[in-house]
C-alpha cells in the first residue's frame, strides 16, 4: 500500500534525520521519507538554530547582569585591596575627601565592566556560531584546528600587543593609577592624561607628552594615592641649633593650626632636628604627612612660612653675616713642600 505522504516510500530519510529522535518518530508514524526530511530541515533545524541563538542571548544577558552587579558594587564604595591598609591609618575625613575619588572609581569600574562584557559577548556568540555551523552538517573540527593554529601564529606575531593588553587589564583591575595621578615610570614622570588598555599618556613638567606602553612598564610610582610625606631641609649655617629649632617648631605649629590648612594634615608636622652637617653649617629637617593631592601646595606654603620665621627671628641675618665674614677671610696658601 502506497503512503499518502510520500510517492516513493521505499526511500529512507537522511542520516541526520534518523539521528534525531523527533524526525525518526515522524518517519516511523508516517512511513514517509518526504515528510520526515521536510519536517527535519524546514522545522526542526530552524527551531534548533533559534533555540541556540536564544540560549546564547540569555547566557550573555545573565553574564552581563552579573558583571553589572559587580561593577555597581565596586563603584559604590569598596576601596581596592592595595589601599585598605592606608585607609585604616588615615582619618576618615581625609580619606573621604582626597584618597578615594568616587568619580574615578566609577569610571574605572565601568571601564573594567565594558572590557569584561566585550569578552563575554565574543566568547558566547563564538561558541553559538560554531554550534550553528554544526547544525548545517559542517565539520567544525578543521575550523577549530585552523583557528587554533591562527591563534598561535597571532600570539607569536603580536606578543608585544598581547603583553600590553594584559598589563593594561591588570592595571585597571588593581587600580594602579588613573587620570590626574602623578606617576613615575622611570624615564617619564608627570600627570596621567589618558589611560588605555595598550598605552598610558603622561605629560611631564615641561609639557612633553609621553606615550608609554603598559607592557613596557616594569615598575611605577604613584605620587597621588593615599597620603604623602613632605620633607623640607632648612640650612641654618652656624647659628644656634636650639634657637633655630625652636623658631621652626613655632612656625610649623602655627601652620598646622591655621584653619585654612589644618584639614590638609594627616599628622601634625614635626621638626626632627639636625639632619646633616657640612662646610656650610647644619641642616634641620622638617616633615609632615598630608593628603597626596595637596602635598605640593602644602610644601610650597611651608617653605614660605619657615623662611619668613627665620627672617623674623633674625637668624637669617645672622646666617648672611656669617657667610659674608667667611667670604672676607682669605684662604690660606698651601705650605711649600721641601725639595
Average pLDDT of the segment spanning 297-314: 88
- Both 271 and 292 in one domain: the answer is yes
CATH code where residue 196 lies: 2.30.30.60
Q: How far is 204 from 146, CA to CA, in rounded Å?
A: 46
Place of cell 601652620: 255
In whole angstroms, give the CA distance from residue 111 to residue 174.
13
Compute the distance between CA of residue 212 and CA of residue 203 in angstroms, rounded to an integer: 11
- Residue 83 CA, chain-centre distance (Å), reads 13
Mean pLDDT score, 115-132: 86
Q: Please name every residue paired with 199 in a beta bridge, in sequence order, or none if there are none.
A: 213
Q: State the residue range of the domain holding 218.
A: 172-222
Co-location of 218 and 279 in the same domain: no
Please report, for the domain that includes residue 254, its CATH number: 3.30.70.100
- In this structure, the answer to whether residues 183 and 262 fall within a common structural domain is no
End-to-end CA distance of the chain: 141
Q: DSSP characters for 17-60?
A: HHHSHHHHHHHHHH--HHHHHHHIIIIIHHHHHHHHHHHHHHHH
The total of other beta-carbon atoms located within 10 Å of residue 30's CB is 17
User: Mean pLDDT score of the chain, rounded to an integer?
Assistant: 75
Reported confidence tier of residue 89, pLDDT bands at 50, 70, 90: very low
Q: Are residues 176 and 153 in the same domain?
A: no
Can you give the pLDDT at residue 104? Answer: 63
pLDDT for 177 equals 83
120 and 77 inside one domain: yes
Domain assignment present for residue 164? The answer is no
Residues 126 and 214 in one domain: no
Answer whether residue 57 shows pLDDT above 90: yes
Averaged pLDDT for residues 134-152: 75
Exposed, middle or buried by CB within 10 Å (0-12, 13-18, 19+), for 271? buried
Domain total in the chain: 3
| pLDDT of 238 above 50 | yes
Q: What's the burial of 54, exposed, middle or buried (CB within 10 Å: 0-12/13-18/19+)? A: exposed
Q: Kindly state the average pLDDT of the residues 184-202.
A: 85
56: confidence class by pLDDT, cuts 50, 70, 90: very high
Measured CA to CA, the distance from residue 319 to residue 304 in angstroms comes to 17
Amino acid at each position: 500500500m502506497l503512503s499518502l505522504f510520500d510517492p516513493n516510500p521505499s526511500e529512507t530519510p537522511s542520516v541526520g534525520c534518523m539521528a534525531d529522535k523527533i524526525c525518526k518518530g515522524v518517519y516511523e508514524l508516517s512511513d514517509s521519507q518526504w515528510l520526515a526530511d521536510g519536517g527535519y530541515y524546514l522545522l526542526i533545524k530552524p527551531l534548533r538554530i533559534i533555540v541556540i541563538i536564544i540560549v546564547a542571548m540569555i547566557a550573555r544577558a545573565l553574564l552581563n547582569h552579573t558583571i553589572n552587579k559587580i561593577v555597581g558594587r565596586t563603584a559604590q564604595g569598596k576601596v581596592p585591596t592595595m589601599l585598605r591598609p592606608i585607609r585604616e591609618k588615615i582619618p576618615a575625613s581625609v580619606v573621604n575627601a582626597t584618597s578615594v575619588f568616587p568619580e574615578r572609581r566609577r569610571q574605572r569600574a565601568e571601564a573594567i565592566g565594558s572590557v569584561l562584557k566585550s569578552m563575554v559577548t565574543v566568547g558566547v556568540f563564538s561558541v553559538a556560531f560554531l554550534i550553528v555551523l554544526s547544525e548545517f552538517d559542517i565539520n567544525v573540527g578543521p575550523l577549530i584546528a585552523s583557528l587554533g593554529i591562527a591563534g598561535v601564529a597571532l600570539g607569536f606575531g603580536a606578543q608585544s600587543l598581547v603583553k600590553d593588553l594584559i598589563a593594561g587589564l591588570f592595571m585597571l583591575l588593581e587600580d594602579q593609577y588613573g587620570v590626574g595621578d602623578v606617576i613615575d615610570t622611570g624615564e617619564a614622570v608627570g600627570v596621567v592624561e589618558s589611560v588605555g588598555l595598550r598605552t598610558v599618556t603622561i605629560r611631564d613638567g615641561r609639557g612633553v607628552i609621553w606615550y608609554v606602553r603598559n607592557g613596557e612598564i616594569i615598575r611605577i610610582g604613584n605620587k597621588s594615592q593615599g597620603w604623602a610625606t613632605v620633607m623640607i631641609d632648612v640650612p641654618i649655617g652656624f647659628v644656634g641649633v636650639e634657637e633655630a629649632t625652636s623658631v621652626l617648631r613655632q612656625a610649623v605649629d602655627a601652620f598646622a593650626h591655621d584653619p585654612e590648612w589644618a584639614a590638609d594634615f594627616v599628622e601634625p608636622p614635626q621638626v626632627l632636628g639636625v639632619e646633616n652637617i657640612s662646610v656650610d653649617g647644619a641642616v634641620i629637617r622638617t616633615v609632615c604627612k598630608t593628603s597626596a593631592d595637596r602635598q605640593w601646595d602644602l610644601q610650597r606654603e611651608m617653605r614660605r612660612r619657615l623662611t619668613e620665621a627665620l627672617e623674623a627671628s633674625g637668624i637669617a641675618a645672622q646666617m648672611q653675616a656669617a657667610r659674608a665674614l667667611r667670604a672676607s677671610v682669605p684662604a690660606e696658601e698651601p705650605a711649600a713642600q721641601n725639595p
